[in-house]
Amino acid sequence: MTAREASVQSERASPPKEVAADDPGETSGAVSARACSERIRGLTDLRPALAGAFEKNRAQLLMRTSGAPIVFHTEPEPDDARWQRVARPQVIRAYRQHLQTARWSEPALKGLLSRLQGARPLLRAVLLSDGYLYTTNPELARALERNLTLEALFDAPRLTLQRGGERFDLKRDARGHYVHDDGALKGQDAKLLFLDRVSDASVPLGPPLHFDLSEAQQRLGFEAARVLEQSSSRVVAELGYRGADQELVWEKSLLAGQTPEVELVCGTRADGKLSEARELALRRVVVWKRLERVIRQQIAEELPFDEPDNEWGQQDGHLRQRWREAYLAGEERYDLNFQFYPVFTASGAPRAPQVCIDFISETLERASGTRYRGRGEVPGRVIGRLDFDALLGEQRRSVQPFVEYAKREPGIEVEDFTGSQRVPYQFRGRFFALLEAHAGLRQGDIVVIRGYAPWDMNHTEHSHSFFIFRTDPVTGVPIRLIGNAGHPELRGWDREMGRAPRRSLRHRLRPSLEWLERVTQPAPGAAQAG
């Protein structure tokens, strides 16, 4: 076995975990396809999957917001009786109906928040269903996430927030803001997202009404799911794995666990076509983990966008040159326009300013082993399997030369959006309809958007680029993006596109699995360059 083969084998995604749910009779050993079918037929607590307005509008709801892509086994419902001491049920229902049917959701919501400011119990009665921030109206979902805060709904000293498969403890600080009180987010301001479930910590949440397929999707690599039957602890779904012919291969599967997270128990197919598709899916999981590891490093480093804090005219791209000069000279800071900036992060990582395409190229480079050395090392770059300095030279910092490089590279597939496909984001209904029906974007795709921007008085078209970071495990639509438009962070479509709503999709770049495997496998004994 070669060193590379050993490395790949050690990194290979773990095989699907087979778990026991509530029933001890569900063993953790391998289950044959026939036995799995028999097991599913023997389950008596299953009921048909929900098929209401939420499920019908699911893709639109999740693309327009930033919440966890959960699946409900029981639809959340308002509990009017609970709020009888707050207001008459008919008043609560009237407010709720007004929001659901208003022609313009955001002005209607803002008007309600202004009218009921300080009336937190009444706002909770109107806006929460079984504790969930829930609606089946896509525009209202967007408006809720953009305008509603935890502070507008609660004044309790502590809250419990459930988001997908995660649970957070929040506390109210001296400013009156809710902050995370534990985990990696401790001390950070807490946000309220669509489909979050939240309550006063002194009033425990009941059992979750949802389950979360996201973790199972990231482990197994399926790209879509058709939920068939479900209970509070089991899900029967057809999982779609993309085969070599780029078509989805479907397998009826049983997933179970202590909700909200579920894991694969068994599948009902055992043919070669499915085995091949699942093997490809696991290879994609391995490659994506390499990229995601680098992406999360850049998020933690908070690499700044290449734009001076006190910009004189148009100076995008100028910081990087000053940073590089200071870095190679072994200095700790540099200045531009009488403003000083650090060369390294607090942890000693190079704090190189990025334009949007830098984030794309440097994610690929760093996954390949190419990087700037940190504080305490000899300044310079370690060169791995991919080096855009050598491939593109000074043009590497412009979007269009990167797109042209991708068109020349056999390992990258490029699709251009033309004609009626170039729908500006300002026409949100048409834009999201295009995404749902035609765009075919997948995790790891590089997307280029272009159009007029308000900061340039709409005189010149500007390009921007980002990765598709997550897709909905049910519909497969892209729901989470990652790029650098200020510093690297995960965003929804609304936050990414809303800055310049006259921009539209222009290109989709898709590196092949084989190209990514070759490029992101770090070269042993990487060469060094000064």
Q: How many Å apart are CA 446 and CA 364, to the nearest integer? A: 11
Distance of CA 33 to the CA centre of its chain: 33
Share of the chain above pLDDT 70, in %: 91
Locate 42 and state its tokens: 């023997």
Q: Could you read off the pLDDT of 202-248 as tens digits, one per residue?
A: 988 889 999 999 999 999 999 999 999 999 999 999 999 999 999 99
Going by pLDDT thresholds of 50, 70 and 90, the confidence category of residue 458 is low
146 and 133 Cβ atoms separated by less than 8 Å: no
Q: How many Å apart are CA 179 and CA 269, to the nearest integer? A: 47
Judge whether residue 13 has pLDDT over 80: no
pLDDT of 5: 42
Q: How many Å apart are CA 148 and CA 158, to the nearest integer? A: 18
Judge whether residue 17 has pLDDT over 90: no
Going by pLDDT thresholds of 50, 70 and 90, the confidence category of residue 524 is low
Going by pLDDT thresholds of 50, 70 and 90, the confidence category of residue 10 is very low
Strand partners of residue 91: none
Average pLDDT (359-383) is: 97
DSSP state of 394: G
Q: How many Å apart are CA 285 and CA 218, to the nearest integer? A: 7
Residue 294: in which H helix or E strand, if any? helix 272-301
Average pLDDT (335-345) is: 94
Strand partners of residue 295: none
Average pLDDT (174-200) is: 95
Judge whether residue 419 has pLDDT over 90: yes
Lowest-pLDDT choice from 12-16, 350-354, 448-452: 12-16
Q: How many Å apart are CA 207 and CA 204, to the nearest integer? A: 9
Judge whether residue 316 has pLDDT over 60: yes
Residue 295: in which H helix or E strand, if any? helix 272-301
Going by pLDDT thresholds of 50, 70 and 90, the confidence category of residue 157 is very high
Q: From residue 120, how far is each of 115, 149, 183, 481, 514 by CA, in Å?
A: 12, 11, 28, 33, 54
Average pLDDT (323-348) is: 96
Give 78 or 24, the one with higher predicted confidence.
78
Average pLDDT (427-443) is: 92
Distance of CA 282 to the CA centre of its chain: 19
pLDDT of 88: 85
pLDDT, the chain, mean: 91
Judge whether residue 505 has pLDDT over 50: yes
**φ, ψ (nearest 5 deg) of residue 432:** -75, -30
Going by pLDDT thresholds of 50, 70 and 90, the confidence category of residue 523 is low
Average pLDDT (10-35) is: 52
pLDDT of 310: 77
Judge whether residue 315 has pLDDT over 90: no
Lowest-pLDDT choice from 273-287, 307-321, 506-520: 307-321
Q: From residue 104, how far is each of 53, 63, 64, 143 by CA, in Å?
A: 19, 19, 15, 10
